[in-house]
């Protein structure tokens, strides 16, 4: 049986459409309008989503970002590009959601322990559909981009078009949904700054360790 996952709740009529389609797909009787009217919880809230910006080097040593083209059955922005993203499901954290969406949309499996929290968007004036979106960064360092396989087996219909590793300096040549072009560059700059600082401090620590050992000797 298909799992009925979390979806943005627009109104009761939309709920009935989704419920009817779910029943027909799973062999249930959808003639339950009166019951739905009686038990439907009549509050509407903003939906929670997650996005992950996945970086990996290609065989030439250039950093690339994982992205996909929005297919003809995508909810909006068809033909534009985005990084893996989607709505939070029941019984999962936002990081788990980002990892799952990446696998479902591209077939690329990410290490959950390698998820770095970037921030979130909750401004109702600028957020797409007023979604609250958690943002993550994930870097793949033990493989080059060309050997990582893609898969659409877990796509919903034709929601996803092309899947590509896009060099960072080629991001500007694509048309992006959700402002992901700016977010990609911001995420990559954040990752570079933090890891450059980490490498600096580790190098400094190693220097003083060696200096201390030489001084004692």
- What digits encode the pLDDT tens for the residues 82-132? 999 999 998 999 999 999 999 999 999 999 999 999 999 999 999 998 999
pLDDT in tens, 16-42: 777 777 777 777 666 655 555 555 555
User: What are the pLDDT digits (tens) for 154-166?
Assistant: 998 899 999 999 9
Q: Tell which residue, 8, 29, 38, 32, has the closest CA to residue 130.
A: 8
More confident residue, 18 or 7: 18
CB contact at 8 A, 185 and 191:
no
Mean of pLDDT values over 139-149: 95
How confident is residue 216, by pLDDT bands cut at 50, 70 and 90?
A: low
Mean pLDDT of the chain: 84
Give the predicted TM-score (pTM) of the model: 0.74
Q: In degrees, to the nearest 5, what angle opens at C-alpha 137 toward C-alphas 99 and 198?
A: 135
Helices (H), the chain: 12-26, 33-39, 94-106, 180-216
Q: Which letter, b or e, does each residue of 175-211 get, where b requires 16 or more Cβ atoms within 10 Å of its Cβ?
A: ebbbebbebbebbbeebeeeeeeeeeeeeeeeeeeee
Percent of the chain predicted with pLDDT > 90:
64
**Residues 160, 68 contacting (CB under 8 angstroms):** yes
> Which residues, at least 6 apart from 174, have a Cβ–Cβ distance to it below 8 Å?
67, 80, 81, 166, 181
SS3 content of the chain, % helix, strand, coil (to 5): 40, 20, 40
Q: Using alpha carbons only, what angle is made at residue 170 by residues 149 and 185, rounded to the nearest 5 degrees?
A: 95
Residue (of 169, 168, 150) closest to 160 by Cα position: 150
Phi/psi at 177 (5° precision): -90, 155
Q: Would you state the structure tokens that stand for residue 185, as one six-digit string?
A: 């560059």
* Domains by residue range for the chain, with CATH: 1-45 (no CATH), 48-197 (3.90.79.10)
Model confidence band, residue 2 (pLDDT cutoffs 50, 70, 90) = very low
* Mean pLDDT in residue range 60-88: 96
Is the pLDDT at 5 greater than 70, yes or no?
no
């Amino acid at each position: 049986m298909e799992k009925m996952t979390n979806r943005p709740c627009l109104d009761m009529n939309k709920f009935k459409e989704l419920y009817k389609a779910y029943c027909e797909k799973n062999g249930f009787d959808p003639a339950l309008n009166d019951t739905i009217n009686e038990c439907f919880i009549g509050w509407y809230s903003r939906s929670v989503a997650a996005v992950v910006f996945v970086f990996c080097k290609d065989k030439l040593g250039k950093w690339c970002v994982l992205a996909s083209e929005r297919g003809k059955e995508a909810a909006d922005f068809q033909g534009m590009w985005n990084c893996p993203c989607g709505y939070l499901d029941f019984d999962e954290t936002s990081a788990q959601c980002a990892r799952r969406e990446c696998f479902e949309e591209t077939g690329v499996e990410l290490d959950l322990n390698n998820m770095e929290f970037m921030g979130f968007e909750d401004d109702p004036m600028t957020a797409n559909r007023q979604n609250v979106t958690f943002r993550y960064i994930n870097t793949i360092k033990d493989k080059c981009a060309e050997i990582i396989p893609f898969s659409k087996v877990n796509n919903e219909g034709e929601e996803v078009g092309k899947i590509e590793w896009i060099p960072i300096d080629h991001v500007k040549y694509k048309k992006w949904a959700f402002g992901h072009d700016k977010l990609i560059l911001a995420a990559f700059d954040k990752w570079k700054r933090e890891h450059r600082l980490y490498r600096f401090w580790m190098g400094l620590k190693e220097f003083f360790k060696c200096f201390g050992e030489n001084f004692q000797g």
